[in-house]
Amino acid sequence: MAGSPAHEIFLLPPLSLVIGGARSGKSRLAEGLVTGTARTRRYIATAEAWDDEMRARIAQHRTDRGADWITVEAPLDLPTALATAGGDEVVLVDCATLWLTNHLLAEHDLDAEATALLAAFATCKAPVVVVSNEVGWGIVPENALARRFRDAQGRLNQRIAAQAGLVLGVMAGLPMVLKGDLPPWM
């Protein structure tokens, strides 16, 4: 994916979903969507740095994005972070998978949290691009917690996709249009 030409501005729908497997190129593609809007960029991070590897990944993501992003850390309270976005911005939520994991580990009501998140997407003043992992294509997890997570993630992805005007699947760095229209530069 090349960057969008300066004269081409893509208008995102109010909600977009970029979904794929681990290391598939989801974040890079989502960043390209956001950059193509020519709006002020707000990055809402849901990751928590529990170890050195995760700290290094977070640092690399920040370096890759560059300094012209507003970064908000919201490992649990995405609705509040979305409410602070202005109408002149575009929001990238990276990612719904870590957000859901954080709620699962905190033993929160996952359905209630998902419902609040979807309501926040609907009322956000800025277009929102959400990155999420597709976790249902692998083997059935061997333990109950992993199966609960896989099922909850699948339900959350379905709910976000139903509400989204644009849904892109990503495999090997390549976008696949699942719903909506692909920007002209992709």
Confidence of residue 2 (pLDDT cuts 50, 70, 90): very low
Predicted pLDDT at 60:
81
pLDDT at 67 over 90: no
Q: What is the reported pTM?
A: 0.90
Tokens, residue 135: 């976790």
Structure confidence by residue, pLDDT tens digits, 93-147 = 999 999 999 999 999 999 999 999 999 999 999 999 999 999 988 788 889 999 9
Predicted pLDDT at 140:
85
Please tell me which residue, 45 or 4, carries the higher pLDDT value. 45
Tokens, residue 6: 């300066």
Domain ranges of the chain: 15-179
pLDDT at 35 over 50: yes
For 1, counting Cβ atoms within 10 Å of its Cβ (0-12 exposed, 13-18 middle, 19+ buried), the class is middle
Torsion angle, CA of 1/66/131/39, rounded to 10 degrees? -80
Looking at 7, 61, 103, 108, which residue is catalytic? 61
61 is catalytic: yes
Mean pLDDT of the chain: 90
Fold of 15-179: Rossmann fold (3.40.50)
Residue 41 CA to residue 35 CA, distance in Å, equals 7
Residue 27 CA to residue 17 CA, distance in Å, equals 11
Confidence of residue 48 (pLDDT cuts 50, 70, 90): confident
Predicted pLDDT at 185:
65
Predicted pLDDT at 6:
46
Predicted pLDDT at 36:
86
Each as own residue / partner, the long-range contacts of residues 171-177 (CB below 8 Å, 24 or more positions apart, any chain) are: 171/20, 171/21, 171/24, 172/24, 172/25, 173/1, 173/24, 173/25, 173/28, 173/29, 174/25, 175/1, 175/29
